[in-house]
Amino acid sequence: MDNVAGRFGGFEDTSDDEFRRRVRDWLRDNLAGDFAAVKGMGGPGREHEAFDDRVAWERHLARSGWTCIGWPVEYGGRGASLEQQVIFHEEYARADAPARVAHIGEQLLGPTLIAFGTDAHRARFLPGIASVDELWCQCYSEPGAGSDLAAVSTSATLIDGDWVIDGQKIWTSLAHVADWAFVIARTDKRSRRHAGLSYLLVPMKQDGVTVRPIRQLTGTSEFNEVFFDGARTDGDLVVGEPGRGWAVAMATLGFERGVSTLGQQVGFARELSDIVDIAHRNGAADDPVVREKLIRAWIGLKVMRAYASSTLGGSGEHGEASVSKLLWATWHRGLGELAMEVVGAPSAMAPNDDLDRLQRLYLFSRADTIYGGSNEIQRNIIAERVLGLPREARR
């Protein structure tokens, strides 16, 4: 790890303006030549686009020290401040750089291992995440559990020093290309709800793991079903104590809604700008109802930006992550609907089933309020844990 940490150094003496210039210049100079073609590629509903080229691009990022920049230097990161991480994600989005392929490892698992893993976990897995040599997926949801993570039934039993895993996961993003998964499994069969769950690191390339793609409304298949049938992983590859994985799993979800959301909002702003341009070209902006919706969308974007900026680095005790998820998911789903309204009748046509960007935006954004914790779950969290209201009755 020391060799990895020493390759790039930190940014201790770099002003934020200087850092922004450095990021912007590097992206301009490197999103050129062979990598010019990957600009704008990938993203929700479009993960199939130029996937191998995007992996090559991300490994180029890694060799130049632009992956995992917020990780501590001793773990292979660059020790960037919170402000600098925000700047990087904003400039990355403004440069129309391709959607990241290793974000699950970098933004979810890596910080989890830094906070909860052992030295052996960090030494084994962090270098491969930083170099983009190992890709990860997240195995949380199940067909019978939905957004209720505490209701998972996938089980793991310690046999001859290995965890043996049986069960099914669903809606697993990029499982078909992942080398490893972090899996929530019930390791105490007598337990219920949050107790008795463990957070396991499981290799995907083994006979006991079957991945089946789920065809989406967009026609693509970045989500998958994952079946574990006697899959095995080493007994030491449990993060935190066995049976106490709930806190680790919740911490991972908190990392998921970190600084990268501000870069996400730059992408949202580009989508809104495209829709406004179309509205002016086709005359939709002359309709006062449409014009008001465009203005409200712009206001909503500014509200999201202000909220995200004001809550970054907070403790999360006041439901900030749930509020943020509600804000952006509901707004983005509405933007997809607005896009179809602005485009008008042509939005219903897709010659040869070849969807354009706005059609993919509309179709995929229907899922925004479901994945990552549905709107209903987020409202329950806010009501029960922040406002102290009575728990919803469970059937």
Bridge partners, residue 203, by sequence: 180
Q: What is the dihedral of CA 246, 248, 253, 257, to 10 degrees?
A: 150
**Residue labelled with tokens 């450095």:** 22
Q: What is the C-alpha to C-alpha distance for residues 6 and 100, in angstroms, rounded to an integer? A: 24
- Burial of 188 from C-beta contacts in 10 A (0-12 / 13-18 / 19+): middle
Half-sphere exposure of 112 (CA within 13 A, CB side): 30
Closest CA to 302 of 337, 334, 328: 328
- As annotated, the active-site residues are 256
**Contacts for 140-147: CB closer than 8 Å, 24+ residues apart:** 140/169, 140/184, 140/249, 141/169, 141/170, 141/171, 141/172, 142/167, 142/168, 142/169, 142/170, 143/168, 143/170, 146/374, 147/370, 147/373, 147/374, 147/376, 147/377
Closest CA to 48 of 179, 208, 200, 173: 173
DSSP states along 55-85: HHHHHHHHHTT-SSTTS-GGGTS----HHHH
**Which whole-number Å values give the CA distances from 179 to 105, 130, 134, 314, in the listed order?**
11, 14, 6, 32
Going by their DSSP bridges, the two strands 136-139 and 180-186 should be labelled as: parallel
* Contact predicate 74/83, CB 8 Å: no
Q: What is the C-alpha to C-alpha distance for residues 235 and 335, in angstroms, rounded to an integer? A: 46
Question: Maximum distance among all alpha carbons in the chain?
Answer: 71
